């Protein structure tokens, strides 16, 4: 059995709930050991941001990691939410008022309207508190932190509202749940789409990325291999889905739905 090569990313803090790991100079991963998503701290020369913040219940441990690198919440200028799922955004309300909160406009709409179904509130049982989004991000926006230049990429598939962030100069790819180490996919939820997922992965494949900083799991220094495997898996998933629909009797499945619509229309006309 071959020995697993040691990780090139030093662990700065490790406790029962999370680990603080240095991904690059002034870039840190806070990796939670429960269902919370990873959080990332990027300390720029002109401003400091966080990308996702994990669950609200983990906030004390997030705070411990931030304090460990002398970057308490009041030093963070912006929190960027990769999409609307609560394992990524639950702790954002702790930053409200002093830190700018940003997300793609589709995610912002779901978060601001407190769309519990889209945000998976029952799955994560997070407190029902408002999270205000101050800035709506779009494809092509550039976040200039001084020594980091993060391009916003609209990468739907996991949900309709997913974004990734890419620093071309340093090859840092913050892909949230769109791509994870080993080619693991984040699943397709509610507003998501397998075909959109494939297109987003193809876009990530075209990047000269050197480090993958994903929504869950370890840091990866083989992002090109990761995305290649994910594309293969996503095409397999699309094929499996097509076979499933071929096996269904579409008329018998959709007729009750269409009848319900007709009945509702009759009530409206009455």
The predicted pLDDT at position 242 comes to 62
Residues shown for the chain: 270
The range of the structural domain enclosing residue 127 comes to: 11-269
Q: Label residue 237 by pLDDT band (50, 70, 90).
A: confident
Question: 3 in a domain, yes or no?
Answer: no
- Domain-embedded: residue 5: no
- Residue 242 belongs to some domain of the structure: yes
Per-residue confidence at 210, pLDDT binned at 50, 70, 90?
Answer: very high
pLDDT at 1 over 70: no
pLDDT averaged over every residue in the chain: 89
Q: Give the model's pLDDT for residue 178.
A: 96
Q: How many CB atoms lie within 10 A of CB 218?
A: 17
Q: Is residue 246 part of a domain?
A: yes
Q: In this predicted model, what pLDDT tens digit does every residue of 52-85 receive, in sequence order? A: 999 999 999 999 999 999 999 999 999 999 999 9
CA angle 146–150–151, rounded 5-degree value: 135
Q: Is 182 helix (H, G, I), strand (E, B) or coil?
A: helix
Give the pLDDT score at 261: 53
pLDDT category at 250 given cuts 50, 70, 90 is very low
Contact 53, 91 (CB under 8 A): yes
- Phi, psi (deg, nearest 5) at residue 238: -65, -40
Q: How far is CA 59 from CA 34, 48, 85, in A?
A: 13, 18, 16
End-to-end CA distance of the chain: 74
pLDDT class of 176 with cuts at 50, 70, 90 = very high
User: Residue 258: which CATH number?
Assistant: 3.60.15.10
At 129-142, the pLDDT tens digits run 999 999 999 999 99
- Residue-wise pLDDT for 112-125, tens only, equals 999 999 999 989 88
Q: How far is CA 231 from CA 77, 175, 200, 201, in A?
A: 35, 14, 10, 6
Check residues 243 and 208 and name the one with the higher pLDDT.
Answer: 208
H helices, E strands: number in the chain: 8, 13
Cα–Cα distance for residue pair 229/184, rounded to 1 Å: 8
Domain count, the chain: 1
Instruction: Tell me the whole-structure pTM to 2 decimals.
Output: 0.87
Assigned domain for 167 exists: yes
Residue 4 covered by a domain: no
Task: Tell me, yes or no, whether 6 lies in a domain.
Answer: no
**Residue 86 and residue 36 in contact, taking contact as beta carbons nearer than 8 Å:** no
Does a structural domain hold residue 73? yes
Question: What's the token pair of residue 234?
Answer: 């996503």
């Amino acid at each position: 059995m071959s020995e697993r090569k040691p990780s090139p990313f030093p662990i700065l803090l490790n406790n029962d709930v999370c680990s603080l790991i240095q991904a690059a100079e002034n870039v840190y991963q806070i990796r939670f050991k429960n269902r919370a998503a990873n959080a990332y701290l990027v300390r720029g020369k002109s401003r400091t941001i966080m990308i996702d913040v994990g669950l609200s219940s983990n906030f004390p441990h997030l705070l411990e990691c931030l304090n460990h690198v002398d970057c308490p919440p009041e030093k963070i200028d912006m929190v960027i939410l990769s999409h609307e799922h609560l394992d990524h955004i639950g702790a954002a309300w702790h930053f409200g008022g002093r830190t700018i909160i940003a997300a793609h406009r589709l995610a912002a709409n779901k978060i601001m309207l407190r769309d519990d179904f889209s945000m998976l509130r029952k799955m994560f049982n997070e407190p029902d508190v408002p999270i205000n989004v101050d800035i709506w991000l779009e494809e092509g926006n550039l976040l200039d932190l001084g020594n980091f230049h993060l391009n916003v990429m609209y990468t739907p598939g996991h949900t309709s509202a997913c974004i990734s962030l890419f620093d071309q100069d340093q090859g840092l790819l913050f892909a949230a749940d769109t791509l994870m180490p080993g080619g693991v996919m984040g699943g397709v939820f509610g507003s998501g789409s397998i075909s959109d997922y494939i297109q987003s992965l193809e876009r990530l494949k075209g990047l000269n990325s050197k480090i993958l900083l994903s929504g869950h799991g370890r840091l990866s220094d083989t992002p090109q291999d990761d995305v290649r495997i994910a594309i293969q898996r996503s095409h397999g998933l699309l094929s499996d889905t097509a076979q499933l629909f071929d096996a269904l009797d579409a008329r018998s499945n959709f007729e009750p739905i269409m009848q319900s619509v007709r009945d509702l229309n009759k009530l409206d006309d009455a």
